[in-house]
Amino acid sequence: MDLKHIIESQQFKVPRLMALFERANMMKKIVQRGGTLDYQNKILASLFYAPSTRTRFSFESAMYRLGGKILSTEQASEFSSEIKDERLEDTIKIIGNYCDVIVLRHIEEGGAKRAASVSSVPIINAGDGSGGQHPTQALLDLYTINNECHSIDGLSVAFIGALDNGRTTRSLAYLLSKFDRVKLYFIAPEELQIKNDILEHLNEHNISYEILNSTQNVLKNIDVLYMTRIDRARLKSKNINFDDFNVGPSVLKKLKKEALIMHPLPRSIEISPEVDLDPRAAYFRQAENGLYVRMALLTMLFENE
Amino acid sequence: MDLKHIIESQQFKVPRLMALFERANMMKKIVQRGGTLDYQNKILASLFYAPSTRTRFSFESAMYRLGGKILSTEQASEFSSEIKDERLEDTIKIIGNYCDVIVLRHIEEGGAKRAASVSSVPIINAGDGSGGQHPTQALLDLYTINNECHSIDGLSVAFIGALDNGRTTRSLAYLLSKFDRVKLYFIAPEELQIKNDILEHLNEHNISYEILNSTQNVLKNIDVLYMTRIDRARLKSKNINFDDFNVGPSVLKKLKKEALIMHPLPRSIEISPEVDLDPRAAYFRQAENGLYVRMALLTMLFENE
Amino acid sequence: MDLKHIIESQQFKVPRLMALFERANMMKKIVQRGGTLDYQNKILASLFYAPSTRTRFSFESAMYRLGGKILSTEQASEFSSEIKDERLEDTIKIIGNYCDVIVLRHIEEGGAKRAASVSSVPIINAGDGSGGQHPTQALLDLYTINNECHSIDGLSVAFIGALDNGRTTRSLAYLLSKFDRVKLYFIAPEELQIKNDILEHLNEHNISYEILNSTQNVLKNIDVLYMTRIDRARLKSKNINFDDFNVGPSVLKKLKKEALIMHPLPRSIEISPEVDLDPRAAYFRQAENGLYVRMALLTMLFENE
C-alpha cells in the first residue's frame, strides 16, 4: 500500500486520492502563511531529458517549500560530453546516490518504469514520451476539479484537442474512471482522436463516454472543458479546421455558468487570452495547485522510507 | 512610494538611491563577516531568455546571502519542448506561483514592463533587449562611483564604446541626470553614438554633455571612464579604427590620478589585461558591489509585501 | 601544507590521502544517518564548460550534505550572449565574488591552474581537457580501492581502454605511484597507449609497470581492473578489434575472486550490463564514494580560510 514511486495515475485509488487532496489543502495553508516544513536534509534531483521549466519549477518550488534542496538539470540529454547513449538505468543508479528523490521527464514511453525498476530512491514520472503518462499533472487536475466542483462523482468532462498523443488526457481519463456516474467526451478531429487503450479501459470500468468531432452540441452539458494543446502546423498539414477546437467568446456564451475551463499549459492558440478574465478559466489556478499537490506527494514518498 | 518592481533606472529618486547605497554598505559588512539574513522562506526565480551567468550568479548569490533559495533557468527560450512561442505573460503568471521574486532577462525591449503588468510577485529587469535597460547594473555602477568618489555631484563621466545599443550606458545616464553639476561625455564613432532619447532626457534635466569621437582631449578632465563592450566585427565592417576606443598604458598616463575606470563586464579587447593592475581599474570591484546592491534591492522588495 | 586549490593529484601526499579517506568515512556515516554539517553560509559554484551532470551533481550533493548552497551552470560555454571569448581569468575573478569555492570543468588542459592563479576562492579541478587531470575522480577511485582492498601497497592495477587521452587514468597513476610495491599494467591497442610523461613519472618513482595490448595473460594476477571508456567509432576507424578490451562473462571467469572491476562512468559498451550483478563490479559503489570524498575535500578547503 506504500507509495514508493509515482509512475502512472492508475496507481492511485480513491481513498489515497482523497488523502492526497486533504494533504494538499494543508500544504496550501502552510505556503499561504509563509511557512515551511522540516525536510532540510532532503534533496530532490530534477532530471529533464526535454526542457519543461514550468513543471521543473513546480516540483523544485514544492521541495523548497518543504524546506528541502534541489539538484537540477534543464537538459539531461546533454548529460555528458563524453557519451551520448548512456543507459537510463546507469544514470538513475548513479544519481540515486546524490539525492532522495528523482523527478524524471523522459523522452521515451516507459522511461519512468524502467528508472523505477533500478532506483534506490523514489522516481516521480514527470512525463514519459508523448504516448506515456504525466501522473502528477492528472493529480493536480483532479485536485482542481475536486476543489472547484466540490465532488467528482457525476461530472461531465470534455477533452478537446489532439488527443491521440495527449499524455495529460490519458492520465486524467484513468483517474476519472475511478469515480461514479462520470461522463467523458472526447472531442477531436477524427485523425487525432483518443487511442483505443483508453476507451477499452473506460469500457471495463463502465464509464460512459462519447466520441465527437465538434463541441457544438455538448457545451451546455459539460462541467469541465479540458483543453489541450493543438499544433497548428499539424492541423494545417491535415487540412483540419481549427475553429471547432478552440475557446473564445462564442464558446463562453454556450458554457454552463459554473463550468470549469482547464488546460495543462503552456497554451498555444486554443484558448484566446480574453478568456482569462472569465471566472470559469481555471488554468492558472490549476498551475498554482500543482505546487500544493506536489508538496503533498513528496511528503507521502518521504514517509515510506 | 513603495518599490514594487524594478523595471527602469528612472524609478529611483535620489533619496531612495542614498537609502539603497546605505543598505548595500550594511550588506557588505554582513557578507564580509560570513553572516546571513533570515529570508529562509523566500524563493527567487531566475528567468533568463539569453544566458548571462555573471548577472544570474550575482542575483542568485545575493539571494543565498540573504538566506533564501533559488529556482534557475540558464536558457528560458527552451522553456518547453512542446511550444516555442508561449506568451511571456502566461509564463510570468505561472512562475509567480512558484517563487517570491522573478529576475527576468528578456530579449525584447519592454519585456520587463509587460511581465510586471501581470505578475503577482516583484519583477526585476535584468536586461530587456539591446535597446532596453538594465537598471540593477546602473545602480551598482552608481554605488561604485559614490563609494569610490565619495559624491556624485560635480563628476565628469565619459562613456566610451558602442553607445547606440548600450543598455548599461542608457540606464546609468538616466541615473546620473538626477545629480547636480554632472558633466557627461559620449565618446563613440559617429555611427555608434548614443541615441537621441537619452540626449533629450539630459536636455530636459539641464545636464551638460558633449558628443565626441575621440578620447584625445578629455582624458585629463574626467573622473569616471565608463568603458563598454566594442564588437570588433562590427567596427571592422564599418571600417572604424579601434584605437581611439580602448584603454591601455597610453590612456592610463593621461588619466587623472584619482579617476575610475569602469566596465560592466564581460570585456572584449577594449581594456587590455595590464590595466587590471592599476588601482584606478574599478571593474572587478564593480562586479563585487553587484552582490551588495542586489541584496539591498531584494530586501527592499520583500519589505513591501 | 594547507590545501588551497585542488588542481592535480600529485598535490596529495600519502598522509594527506589517509587523512582524507578517514574524513570521507566520517562523511559516509553522517550521510547514512541523514545528518548534515553546519556550512549553511557557504556557496559552491559549478562552472562546467562541458556538461557532466554526474560529476556536477556529485559535487553539488556533497555541498548540500554539508549544509551549504550551490550556484550552477550546466553549460558555461554559453556564459554570455554578448561575448564568446571572455578570458577564463576574468570569469574566475568575477565569480569568486559570488561564492566560496569554484568547481571548474574546463575544456583546455591547464585551465584549472590558470583559474587558481587569479582566484580569490579555492578552485577544484573537475577535469581540464582530455589530456589534463581529474584529481577528485582519482581520489575517489583510490578511496574505493583502499576501502575494498584494505590497503594499496602491493596491489596490481590494470588500466584498460583508450589510455592516450584518459584523464582519469593519468590522475590515478600519479596517486598510485606514491605507494609501495604497486604494479601497474597499461592494456590498450598500441595506438591508444598511455603517454610517455606518465611512464617517466613511474620510472622516477621506481614503480613497476607493463605495457600490453591484451588482457589475456594478466587477468589472473590483478587486484584491480580499471576500465575506461572506449570510443567505438575511434576503434573502428583504426580497425582495432574491440573484444580484447571489454569485460563480459569470460573475463569474469578468469579474474581473481576478490578483484575489483572499476570504471569512472559513464560506460559505453566496454562493460556489459550483466557484469553489474557480480560483487566484484565496484563502479556504482565508486560513484557513491564520490559523494563522501568530495564532502571531505570541501571541508578541508574551508578549514584553510
Q: DSSP per residue over chain B, as a string?
A: -----B--GGG--HHHHHHHHHHHHHHHHHHHTT---S-TT-EEEEEESS-BHHHHHHHHHHHHHTT-EEEEES-GGG-BSS-S---HHHHHHHHGGG-SEEEEEESSTTHHHHHHHH-SS-EEEEEESTTS--HHHHHHHHHHHHHHHS--TT-EEEEES--TT-HHHHHHHHHHTTSTT-EEEEE--GGGPPPHHHHHHHHHTT-EEEEES-STTTTTT-SEEEE----HHHHHHTT--GGGG-B-HHHHHHS-TT-EEE--S---SSB-GGGGGSTTB-HHHHHHHHHHHHHHHHHHHHHT-
- CA-CA distance, C100 to C305, in Å (whole number)? 10
Which residues of chain A are within 8 Å of residue C74 when distances are taken between CB atoms? 73-75, 78
Do A182 and A202 have their domain in common? Answer: yes
Do A97 and A235 have their domain in common? Answer: no
Closest Cβ opposite residue A36 in set B41, B81, B95? B41
Per-residue pLDDT for C64 more than 70? yes
Question: What per-residue confidence (pLDDT) applies to A279?
Answer: 97
CA distances from B176 to B133, B157, C2 (A): 14, 9, 47
Do A152 and A121 have their domain in common? Answer: no
Do B260 and B143 have their domain in common? Answer: yes
- Report the gap between the CA of A230 and the closest CA in chain B (Å): 10
Question: What per-residue confidence (pLDDT) applies to C202?
Answer: 96
CATH of the domain at C256: 3.40.50.1370
- CA-CA distance, C199 to C39, in Å (whole number)? 41
Per-residue pLDDT for B169 more than 80? yes
Which residues of chain A are within 8 Å of residue C287 when distances are taken between CB atoms? 93-94, 97
Question: What per-residue confidence (pLDDT) applies to A238?
Answer: 78
Identify the closest residue of chain B to A40 by CA–CA distance.
B40
Per-residue pLDDT for C288 more than 70? yes
Per-residue pLDDT for C29 more than 90? yes
Q: Identify whether B4 is part of a domain.
A: no
Is C299 designated active site? no
Question: What per-residue confidence (pLDDT) applies to A191?
Answer: 87
Q: Does the distance separating the beta carbons of A268 and B94 come in below 8 Å?
A: no
SS3 category, A100: coil
Question: What per-residue confidence (pLDDT) applies to C225?
Answer: 97
Question: What per-residue confidence (pLDDT) applies to A302?
Answer: 96
**What are the two backbone dihedrals, phi and then psi, of residue B101, each rounded to the nearest 5 degrees?**
-160, 145
Q: List the grid coordinates of B50.
A: 539569453
Do B42 and B84 have their domain in common? Answer: yes
Q: Identify whether C4 is part of a domain.
A: no
- CA-CA distance, A299 to A65, in Å (whole number)? 11
pLDDT, average across residues C228-254: 83
Q: Identify whether C265 is part of a domain.
A: yes
Q: List the grid coordinates of A96.
A: 540515486
Do B163 and B265 have their domain in common? Answer: yes
Q: At CA B77, angle to CA B71 and CA B79, rounded to 5?
A: 55
**Percent of chain B whose pLDDT exceeds 90:** 76
**Percent of chain C whose pLDDT exceeds 70:** 97
- CA-CA distance, B91 to A265, in Å (whole number)? 9
CA distances from C52 to A36, A45, B66, C59 (A): 32, 15, 29, 11
- Report the gap between the CA of A61 and the closest CA in chain B (Å): 5
Question: Chains with ≥3 Cβ pairs under 8 A against C?
Answer: A, B
Q: Does the distance separating the beta carbons of A58 and B98 come in below 8 Å?
A: yes
Question: What per-residue confidence (pLDDT) applies to A84?
Answer: 65
Question: What per-residue confidence (pLDDT) applies to A81?
Answer: 61
CA distance between the termini of chain A: 13
Q: Identify whether C3 is part of a domain.
A: no
> Looking up cell 549544509, which residue turns up?
C67
Do A39 and A82 have their domain in common? Answer: yes
Q: How confident is the model at residue B275 (pLDDT cuts 50, 70, 90)?
A: very high
**Strands in A147-250 per DSSP E:** 156-160, 183-187, 208-212, 224-227
How many structural domains comprise chain A? Answer: 2
Q: Identify whether B2 is part of a domain.
A: no
- Report the gap between the CA of B166 and the closest CA in chain A (Å): 30
Per-residue pLDDT for C229 more than 90? no
- CA-CA distance, C159 to C148, in Å (whole number)? 18
Q: List the grid coordinates of A196.
A: 483505443
Question: What per-residue confidence (pLDDT) applies to B79?
Answer: 62
Report pLDDT digits (tens) over B230-258: 777 777 777 777 777 889 999 999 999 99
**What are the two backbone dihedrals, phi and then psi, of residue B196, each rounded to the nearest 5 degrees?**
-65, -30
Q: Identify whether B31 is part of a domain.
A: yes
Question: What per-residue confidence (pLDDT) applies to C79?
Answer: 62
Per-residue pLDDT for B59 more than 70? yes
Question: What per-residue confidence (pLDDT) applies to C81?
Answer: 61
Do B168 and B105 have their domain in common? Answer: no
DSSP state letters, B117-147: HH-SS-EEEEEESTTS--HHHHHHHHHHHHH
Question: What per-residue confidence (pLDDT) applies to B82?
Answer: 58
Q: Identify whether A146 is part of a domain.
A: yes
Higher-confidence residue: C178 or C233?
C178
SS3 category, C235: helix
**Percent of chain B whose pLDDT exceeds 70:** 97
Question: What per-residue confidence (pLDDT) applies to B62?
Answer: 98
Q: Does the distance separating the beta carbons of B79 and A74 come in below 8 Å?
A: no
Q: Identify whether B85 is part of a domain.
A: yes
Average pLDDT of every residue of chain B: 92
pTM for the structure as a whole: 0.95
Please tell me the number of Cα atoms within 13 Å of C178 on its side-chain side: 18
Do A111 and A181 have their domain in common? Answer: no
- Report the gap between the CA of B287 and the closest CA in chain A (Å): 26
Active site residues of A: 54-55, 84, 105, 134
Do B129 and B176 have their domain in common? Answer: no
Which residues of chain B are within 8 Å of residue A284 when distances are taken between CB atoms? 93-94, 97
Is C105 designated active site? yes
Which residues of chain A are within 8 Å of residue C290 when distances are taken between CB atoms? 97
Q: Does the distance separating the beta carbons of A75 and C74 come in below 8 Å?
A: yes
Which residues of chain C are within 8 Å of residue B266 when distances are taken between CB atoms? 79-80, 82-83, 86, 90-91
Domain holding A80, by residue range, is 9-134+290-303
The one catalytic residue in B5, B28, B42, B55 is B55
Do B195 and B253 have their domain in common? Answer: yes
ipTM score for this prediction? 0.94
Question: What per-residue confidence (pLDDT) applies to B64?
Answer: 98
Q: Does the distance separating the beta carbons of B78 and A51 come in below 8 Å?
A: yes
- Report the gap between the CA of A70 and the closest CA in chain B (Å): 9
Question: What per-residue confidence (pLDDT) applies to C84?
Answer: 65
The one catalytic residue in C28, C42, C55, C228 is C55
Do C249 and C179 have their domain in common? Answer: yes
Per-residue pLDDT for C1 more than 90? no
pLDDT, average across residues C57-65: 98
Residue numbers in chain A where pLDDT is lower than 50:
none
- CA-CA distance, B115 to B127, in Å (whole number)? 13
Which residues of chain B are within 8 Å of residue C41 when distances are taken between CB atoms? 34-36
Question: What per-residue confidence (pLDDT) applies to B229?
Answer: 85
